[in-house]
């Protein structure tokens, strides 16, 4: 299929582009490069632009004969969403609505949307099923719910076929493909730890050790970005085969505390990591672990890299070979 990937130059987006291409889909990337990297999608038709540029979208759909879309073009820094909610409502909800409406009215009625575990807020039951109550504790999570709701209405009114994938913690890199995680500023745990190993930071701040978890630090469910990306392919294929859409969690169903992640990183890198207890970060739920049973049974998804050690190893290969991310030349070849 000819698939438009909005936000395809980002960390997850570039891995989704790769996964789609690997099974023969023709991909066109639309990205404003505010946080994405042109180098992450070097061999793909690329359009620099805004998801709310209706004229551009209409032209793209007709020029490239787009049949389906993946939407990953969102503001995603959780902390920022609590400092500047308007930015998130304007971009994720407002521009998202224009994007959805324009696509559907141009005849594109298959959409895979990157949603988030942030829709659940601080969950009551663990592991979290898709039927769990929604109770976001940050604006980012709220905007993800809003877009899911919009798709539901567009299904009813226009026959949109859609799948929302609620990501848990994406990590790792597609080793050997020259793509990986490069955020500025970086806020995610694993890259921050690995940057510390590389001497780019002095220490890792562990945000709180007084949570109600065995070691007091927050527990998360880390999923390899390539496994997450393959789920987009399965979703796309299911929708194009006429199967029912809906909402799917994407995680490994296994939780690791911040302290445990630090230990795994020490094992993988063979280095002692300087870590210090810091105050809690606002809006962090103590535990987030997915039940991915629904996507396993409906779409046949399974993780190829379920072990945290393997996930960190792939991330480490990326960071070691690209210590400055995309902005500077690669130091040495990635080891496959
Ligand atoms: N975390 C931390 N120090 C950091 C970054 C993150 O202790 O410098 C913790 C954070 O509080 C959370 C976990 O690591 O419990 C994962 O955070 P991340 O930002 O990677 O993903 P999130 O769970 O927010 O999506």
For atom 19 of ligand 1, the residue with the nearest CA is 188
Mutate to test the pocket of ligand 1, among 137, 220, 225 (most ligand atoms within 8 A of CB): 220
Which is the closest atom of ligand 1 to the Cα of 208? 7
pLDDT score at 327: 86
CA-280 nearest atom, ligand 1:
11
Return the residue whose CA atom lies nearest to atom 1 of ligand 1: 189
Distance 190 CA to ligand 1 centre (A): 8
Residue whose CA is closest, atom 3 of ligand 1? 206
Secondary structure of the chain in the HEC alphabet?
CEEEEECCCCHHHHHHHHHHHHCCCEEEEEECCCCCCHHHHCCCCEEECCCCCHHHHHHHHHHCCCCEEEECCCCCCHHHHHHCHHHHHHHHHHHHHHHHHHHHHCCCCEEEEEEEHHHHCCCCCCCECCCCCCCCCCHHHHHHHHHHHHHHHHHHHHCCEEEEEEECEEECCCCCCCCCCCCCCCCCHHHHHHHHHCCCCCCEEEECCCCCCCCCCCEECEEEHHHHHHHHHHHHHHHHCCCCCEEEEECCCCCEEHHHHHHHHHHHHCCCCCEEEECCCCCCCCEECECCHHHHHHHCCCCCCCCHHHHHHHHHHHHHHCCCCCCCCCCCCCCC
Query: Which residues are near ligand 1 (CB < 6 Å)?
Result: 78, 169, 187-189, 192, 204-207, 218, 220, 258, 281, 284
220 CA → ligand 1 middle, Å: 8
Q: How far is the CA of 160 from the centre of ligand 1 (A)?
A: 35
- Each residue's pLDDT expressed in tens, for the chain with a length of 336 residues: 999 999 999 999 999 999 999 999 999 999 999 999 999 999 999 999 999 999 999 999 999 999 999 999 999 998 899 999 999 999 999 999 999 999 999 999 999 999 999 999 999 999 999 999 999 999 999 999 999 999 999 999 999 999 999 999 999 999 999 999 999 999 999 999 999 999 999 999 999 999 999 999 999 999 999 999 999 999 999 999 999 999 999 999 999 999 999 999 999 999 999 999 999 998 889 999 999 999 999 999 999 999 999 999 999 999 999 999 998 766 654 444
Which atom, in ligand 1's list, is nearest to the CA of 219? 15
Q: Which of 78, 123, 207 gets mutated to test ligand 1 (max ligand atoms within 8 A of its CB)?
A: 207
Residue 139 CA to ligand 1 centre (angstroms): 17
* Distance from the alpha carbon of residue 196 to the mean position of ligand 1, in angstroms: 15
Residues serving a catalytic function are: 140
Ligand 1 atom index nearest CA of 190: 20
């Amino acid at each position: 299929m000819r698939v438009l990937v909005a936000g395809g130059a980002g960390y997850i987006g570039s891995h989704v582009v790769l996964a789609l291409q690997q099974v023969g889909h023709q991909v066109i990337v639309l990205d404003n490069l505010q946080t994405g990297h042109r180098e992450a999608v070097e061999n793909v038709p690329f359009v620099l632009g805004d998801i709310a540029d209706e004229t551009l979208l209409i032209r793209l759909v007709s020029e490239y004969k787009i049949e389906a879309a993946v939407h990953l073009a969102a503001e995603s820094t959780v902390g920022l969403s609590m400092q500047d909610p308007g930015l998130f409502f304007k971009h994720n909800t407002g521009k998202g609505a224009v994007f959805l409406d324009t696509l559907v009215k141009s005849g594109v009625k298959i959409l895979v949307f990157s949603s988030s575990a942030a829709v659940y807020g601080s969950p009551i039951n663990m592991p979290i099923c898709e039927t769990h109550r929604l109770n976001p504790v940050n604006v980012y999570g709220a905007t993800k719910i809003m877009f899911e709701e919009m798709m539901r209405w567009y299904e009813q009114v226009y026959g949109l076929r859609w799948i929302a994938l609620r990501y848990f913690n994406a990590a790792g890199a597609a080793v050997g493909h020259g793509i990986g995680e490069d955020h500025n500023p970086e806020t995610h745990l694993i890259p921050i730890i690995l940057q510390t190993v590389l001497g780019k930071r002095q220490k890792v701040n562990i945000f709180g050790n007084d949570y109600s978890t065995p070691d007091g630090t927050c527990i998360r469910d880390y999923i390899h970005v390539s496994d997450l990306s393959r789920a987009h392919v399965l979703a796309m294929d299911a929708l194009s085969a006429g199967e029912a859409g809906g909402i799917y969690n994407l995680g490994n169903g296994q939780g690791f505390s911040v302290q445990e992640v630090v230990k795994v990183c020490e094992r993988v890198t063979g280095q002692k990591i300087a870590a210090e207890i810091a105050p809690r970060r606002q809006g962090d739920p103590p535990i987030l672990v997915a039940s991915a049973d629904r996507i396993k049974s409906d779409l046949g998804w399974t993780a190829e890299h379920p072990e945290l050690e393997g996930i960190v190893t792939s991330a480490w290969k990326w960071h070691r070979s690209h210590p400055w991310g995309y902005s500077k030349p690669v130091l040495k070849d990635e080891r496959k």
